[in-house]
A and B are shown apart, each in its own frame.
Chain A
Amino acid sequence: MRSLKAYPIGWRIMDAAEAVAAALWPARFGRSVPYLLLGPAILLVGLLVIGMIQIADSSLRTLDTSTFLPSDYYTLANYQRALTEGLFRTVATRSLLGAVIVTVVTLILAFPYAYLMVRTRSPVLRKILLIALFLPFFIGQVVRAYGWLIVLGNQGMVNEALGLIGIAPMRLLYNYPAVLFGLVQYMLPFAVLMLAPAMTAIPEELESAAHSLGANWVRAMIHVVLPLVKPGLVGAGLVVLTLSLTDFAMPAILGGGSQDFIANAIYDQFFRTSDQGLGSTLALLLVAVGSLLVGVVFMLFGAGTLASQGARR
């Protein structure tokens, strides 16, 4: 009994586990350890690859209107419809234009925020600015859109306030600007968190030097800070562009069905029209455009940088 106490049960279990591990995986296999560690992640992401193959497969089948089943032969008819029908062109134009406007506005708003957050001497202010960014990020899109419904609704805050100064209630919701506004709010944390590291990398002395050489702050911004922060701006811009181009919740909730973006059109094809083939085609085209945009980020910054910037998405 005494020997059992001296050699605890935990050690015995570990010894057994080591023996099993050694039998299954002798030391000479050592070089394949990293691949073994990567295996589960590769399999899990493989689900997405299978999903893409499924989308590609069903995008090549049209809906047979007599049986309401996908055809069992391949055809490019869905692609022809997706690229020629006026409805999809309208939706695509609306989403692209919206994404560009959102990107420009978001970057203009994010730049001073990131600048102040990085340059402030006060740790308390920095913390407040950081918390204000992270809180909405963790609250989720639906609850945030719900907040805007309360603010902008016909009996919402803004209209009540306008009523006090004698202005008749306006329809502030379910239009294009409302969707864009919601998207800007959703994108701001992403943009600031991608800009901030680029901003940190700029030595403050460069600006002081510009000032002492007689540049006012506008010129110092344009000629010193902006060129140096450009990679961050491009990265943030591309991420914001892709995320707002492919967003679903804001157009659905703040647009009220009249301001559909591409993602909403795809959803409708699956769940309203039940035309799986056409929906898949649109989804695949969107994936292609989105991946192209992200591909540009890779080329500009390398995959590694995006990997570590992932958390700042």
Chain B
Amino acid sequence: MTMPLSQRIVFWTIVICVLVILSVPTIVVLGASFTAGNMIDFPPDGLSLKWYSKIAGASDLWRAFGRSLYVATVCTLVAIPVGTLAGIALAKYRVRFETPIQIYLLLPFTIPLIGSGIGLMLFFGEIRLLGQLWPVGVACAVINLPFMVWAVMASASGLEPDLELAAANCGAPPLSTFFHVTLPAVTPGIISGALLMFILALNEFLVSLLLVDARIVTLPVQIYNSIRSIITPDLAAISVIFIASAVVAVIALDRLVGLEIFLKSK
């Protein structure tokens, strides 16, 4: 649409400010990782890949990254079946007490993260699960579950119920109908939901911080612990992993559902 010039100036000024605020940290981390100097500086004191070669040998960082991958995998493996079934149930069936159930399933969003984290820490401590890594993955699955349910619900509500009836009419028993008709129809939702769960668990900081001990820190916690003492460029180099995975996730999400879906009004 055509905007009056004064409006265009005001709006574009703000939008450009926002774009700068949003992207500066990412660009700076990327730039700092290529510095040739020994201290964090931007613009870098000349380009080099020396911090990358340094982190290539830093086994503690890679172990922390491995733990983060493990946590994200556990989280995704838990969330896929749980969220898929719940999403199908909410989208396709008339459920009694639907509103209370929806509110209940939104508890992970309504309870502040610090509250969820402390609660799970106390509970896992009580049943002697603290100090292991897989409960961190389960915790990540709990706190982000609504994302998974939402993604599946969105594609399940697009499935024509007549298709399932047609399958049954052609003689398909319930399980075959589920695997050959329902499941393929919700697959895009499952994939995008799983992607969200994986990437959010890979980045999860606060709940990890509460649930891990010094032996099993995940990568975000490791970075947090390090930047509190001294800032060296090797952290910038390892942070590039997160930037790269975010880029992959955004591209994948755009291909799968199209980012424009988030602009739609209901």
**A binding-site residues for B, Cβ under 8 Å:** 14, 17-18, 21-22, 27, 33-35, 37-42, 44-45, 47-52, 54-55, 58, 108-110, 112-113, 115-119, 121, 126-127, 129-136, 138-151, 153, 155-157, 160, 184-185, 188-189, 193, 196-198, 200-201, 204, 207, 216-218, 242, 245-246, 248-249, 252-253, 262-263, 266-267, 270, 276, 279-280, 283-284, 286-287, 290-291, 294-295, 298, 303-308, 310-313
Instruction: Check B243 against A303 for contact (C-beta < 8 Å).
Output: no
Q: How far is the CB of B78 from chain A (nearest CB, A)?
A: 7
| A136-B22, A143-B220, A307-B106 known, 14 other contacts, Cβ within 8 Å | A37-B85, A41-B86, A47-B120, A127-B259, A131-B254, A138-B250, A141-B205, A146-B227, A147-B24, A148-B25, A248-B113, A253-B224, A263-B206, A308-B153
For B187, what are the chain A residues with a Cβ–Cβ distance below 8 Å?
A: none
For A127, what are the chain B residues with a Cβ–Cβ distance below 8 Å?
A: 254, 259
Instruction: Check B42 against A151 for contact (C-beta < 8 Å).
Output: yes
Task: State A280–B210 Cα separation when bound (angstroms).
Answer: 13
**Contact among B99, B239, B263 for A303, CB-based, below 8 A:** B99
For A279, what are the chain B residues with a Cβ–Cβ distance below 8 Å?
A: 118
Q: How far is the CB of B234 from chain A (nearest CB, A)?
A: 12
Q: List 12 A-B contacts (CB under 8 A).
A: A18-B173, A38-B85, A42-B105, A45-B104, A51-B123, A108-B14, A113-B15, A134-B250, A140-B204, A140-B205, A200-B263, A311-B151
Task: State A226–B242 Cα separation when bound (angstroms).
Answer: 37
For A295, what are the chain B residues with a Cβ–Cβ distance below 8 Å?
A: 110
Q: Which residue of B lies closest to A264 (CB)?
A: B114
Q: How far is the CB of A237 from chain B (nearest CB, A)?
A: 16
Q: Which residue of A lies closest to B100 (CB)?
A: A303
Instruction: Check B107 against A45 for contact (C-beta < 8 Å).
Output: yes
Q: Which residue of B lies closest to A266 (CB)?
A: B114
Q: How far is the CB of B222 from chain A (nearest CB, A)?
A: 9
The answer to whether A116 and B11 touch (CB under 8 A), given A50-B119, A156-B42, is yes
Task: State A276–B210 Cα separation when bound (angstroms).
Answer: 13
The answer to whether A197 and B264 touch (CB under 8 A), given A34-B93, A37-B89, A50-B119, is yes
Task: State A130–B264 Cα separation when bound (angstroms).
Answer: 13
Q: B136 within 8 Å of A by Cβ? A: no
For B263, what are the chain A residues with a Cβ–Cβ distance below 8 Å?
A: 117-118, 126, 130, 196-197, 200
Instruction: Check B231 against A54 for contact (C-beta < 8 Å).
Output: no
Task: State A55–B6 Cα separation when bound (angstroms).
Answer: 54
**Contact among A40, A44, A113, A307 for B14, CB-based, below 8 A:** A113
In B84-126, the 8 Å CB interface with A consists of 85-86, 88-90, 92-95, 99, 101-116, 118-123, 126
Q: B48-56, B58-66, B142-150, B158-166: which one contacts chain A?
A: B142-150
Instruction: Check B265 against A135 for contact (C-beta < 8 Å).
Output: no
Task: State A136–B249 Cα separation when bound (angstroms).
Answer: 11
For B3, what are the chain A residues with a Cβ–Cβ distance below 8 Å?
A: 217
**Contact among B123, B175, B266 for A308, CB-based, below 8 A:** B266
